[in-house]
Structure 1
Amino acid sequence: MSENKDWSQYWSQGHKTSFGSSFKGCYEGVLKQSWLKVFSTFNDGDKVLDLCTGNGSLPRLAYESMSNFSEINFSGVDYATVDSDDTFLKLSNVDFKFDCNIEELPFDSLQFDYVISNYGIEYSNLEKSLTEVSRVLKPLGKATFVCHVNSSRIFLENANELTLLTYLLKSDGLINCLDSLVTALDEKAVTQDTAAINEISMSAEQYRNELNKQLSDALDEFGIDFHQSDFVSFLKFLLNKNTENKKDKLALYKQEAVSHQVRLKALCKAALNYEALPKTIDLFNSVGLEIHNHEMISDESGIVAIQIWALKIV
């Protein structure tokens, strides 16, 4: 759970889920339906804890879909620092705690009837976080987790994106080559000396040729994935003659690319290994959480997650 700064930056942009602009509001489709089934098991007066809540996608989904939402107490915790100036967080039955490590939950034992997490708990040290889940759950309390799994299309898509992004961010890669070109163009724009202008123009032409070569290499290596990447769209925008402050815009793009790379690495590392699932089940059992069901969540495009249900053994 070492990506606090990068996730804090991400959530501060207003995203409601960990998939950026993929969803306009909270989760949709099969993910939404899987959670609505979970919500239907909540009873009036229950205390529910949402781990790695981010901007509160699950409590917000409950708010939108449950007629008895106000009768249930929702707590949310997240390792990131999230702006809490939000009317939703001022509801009397909602309590979020940020900058909070789920491996050391700030709650007394036996507090909650239900613990939930959507693409969250797997980012932690499971031995520590599951021990904490067991500690704060009441006897016969329930836990439901939706987790990344290494056989899902989401994992595979993000792993491919990580490979491309790592390629772009190489020290001698496309982004730094573009930086050199933009720097040369900026210098040429403000230089008055003719000899210096000619020298800078030669450098800029060299950088432009190198950029074109690397673009061709990237297209050969990644094909349509590169052609449809946001880098190509950004490149067209940046080199447009009407785009001002190119250097600053490129710096912001690179900053977000580096942060996104950190998040992608964390996702790929966190995804549960389906082949090693028996070991994960043993880990649940070792802390008093008995898994009574697990299944893949799939849509028309393939697997999107694994869902795990567990019961706190008395």
Structure 2
Amino acid sequence: MHWEQYWDVTPTLSSFGDSSDALGYPEKLLNFWENAVKSYGSDTHYLDLGTGKGALAVWIQVLLVRSMLGGSVKACDLANIDETKISSGVDELDEAIKHVEFKFNTPLERLPYPNNQFDVLASQFGFEYSDWDKSLPEALRVLKDNGELILMLHHPDSAITKDCIGGIRVLNWFFNENILNDVTTLIDLKLRNENIPFARLNEEIIHKLQTFKVLDSAEQVWFLDVMTKLSKLIININHESTKALKNLEEFIGKQITRLEDQVSVAFSKEEVTNRIKKSQVTIKSLKIEDFFVDGELFCWKVLLKK
């Protein structure tokens, strides 16, 4: 599964590695969850659905301890994540990790928890990947009466989705233009000391790279990231270079799959509403709102009350 590979190589606890926070979350998001936890008060029991490496669950646990609220935090995810690799290098977060009960290899469609166990279910970019017809009834099964389900979902017009679309375009271009195949040949020429063909092909590759038209700053980040990795390979060609290039090719392929996954679950408000209706769950209320971070559309904020 590409998500397992992604979490295995991602150092932060969330997928927002550009953030300066150790959790990888932007400040506005941290504040949202802090206000939510404080509003629910003491002795509240939480379940984080689609937790990944546990950023949201860990943050909720930190907030419970800081405010001396008691309660508990559990978290689950379909991916087979190595729990021993969940760490942050920050004492407060690492202490919180010890107190979150994780369950991996756990589909949201079959939750291993008894009925009416949790006061609050939360999910930060995880629930939308599930089969709502099965996962939503399961979520409400383990949620207590009058409990709440908070879903932060990918939005089709968000900065995150736009970045994913740009990443897909950039990464696919390297495959479509056979850049990686050309670099494979380049490595072979260098190792065989065929300097004239090497120089000629190197010039051709450079010319190809110069033809790519970056549409925005997000695409430029994706393009420069691949270029940096390729440049290091070409500058320091050795007998391990072919293997390294193969690993890079596999990594880029998995990145494309991950980005396509994210775009595919960036549902419109109408699609979110229809999925909830189609699951035939009984709820007391439903709110769907835009959520902004630093003036940019970030995601949907969905609140269901059982």
Q: What's the TM-score, normalizing by structure 2?
A: 0.85
**What residue in structure 2 maps to residue 123 of structure 1?**
129
The range that moved more, 80-89 or 41-50, is 80-89
1:58: Cα distance to partner?
1.0
1:166: Cα distance to partner?
1.4
**What residue in structure 2 maps to residue 15 of structure 1?**
12
**What residue in structure 2 maps to residue 56 of structure 1?**
54
1:216: Cα distance to partner?
2.1
Contact map agreement 1:102 1:132 (CA 8 A) in 2: yes
- 1: CA distance between counterparts of 2:229 and 2:165? 21
The partner residue of 2:286 within 281, 286, 292 is: 292
Which deviations, in whole Å up to 9, do the C-alpha atoms of 1:189-220 show, x marking residues without a partner? xxxxxxxxxxx4454345324312321222x3
Contact map agreement 1:17 1:23 (CA 8 A) in 2: no
- 1: CA distance between counterparts of 2:20 and 2:285? 30
Pairs aligned (count): 293
**What residue in structure 1 maps to residue 184 of structure 2?**
179
RMSD, aligned α-carbons: 2.5
**What residue in structure 2 maps to residue 259 of structure 1?**
254
Contact map agreement 1:43 1:72 (CA 8 A) in 2: no
Contact map agreement 1:116 1:144 (CA 8 A) in 2: yes
The partner residue of 1:139 within 141, 145, 153 is: 145
**What residue in structure 2 maps to residue 232 of structure 1?**
227
Q: How does 1:1-314 map to 2 (within 5 A)?
A: 5-13=1-9, 14-26=11-23, 27-66=25-64, 67-68=66-67, 71-85=70-84, 88=95, 91=98, 93-170=99-176, 172-188=177-193, 200-218=194-212, 220=213, 222=215, 225-226=219-220, 229-241=224-236, 245-283=240-278, 286-312=280-306
1:299: Cα distance to partner?
2.4
Contact map agreement 1:79 1:100 (CA 8 A) in 2: yes
Contact map agreement 1:30 1:297 (CA 8 A) in 2: no
- What SS does the corresponding residue of 1:16 show, helix, strand or coil? coil
The range that moved more, 252-261 or 204-213, is 204-213
- 1: CA distance between counterparts of 2:214 and 2:132? 37
- What SS does the corresponding residue of 2:151 show, helix, strand or coil? strand
1:235: Cα distance to partner?
2.7
1:30: Cα distance to partner?
1.6
1:236: Cα distance to partner?
2.6
- What SS does the corresponding residue of 1:167 show, helix, strand or coil? helix
- 1: CA distance between counterparts of 2:18 and 2:163? 16
Contact map agreement 2:132 2:276 (CA 8 A) in 1: no
- What SS does the corresponding residue of 2:192 show, helix, strand or coil? helix
The range that moved more, 120-129 or 59-68, is 59-68
Change (3 A) 1:161 1:291: farther
Q: What's the TM-score, normalizing by structure 1?
A: 0.83
- What SS does the corresponding residue of 1:45 show, helix, strand or coil? coil
- 2: CA distance between counterparts of 1:74 and 1:137? 13
Contact map agreement 2:77 2:105 (CA 8 A) in 1: yes
1:21: Cα distance to partner?
4.3
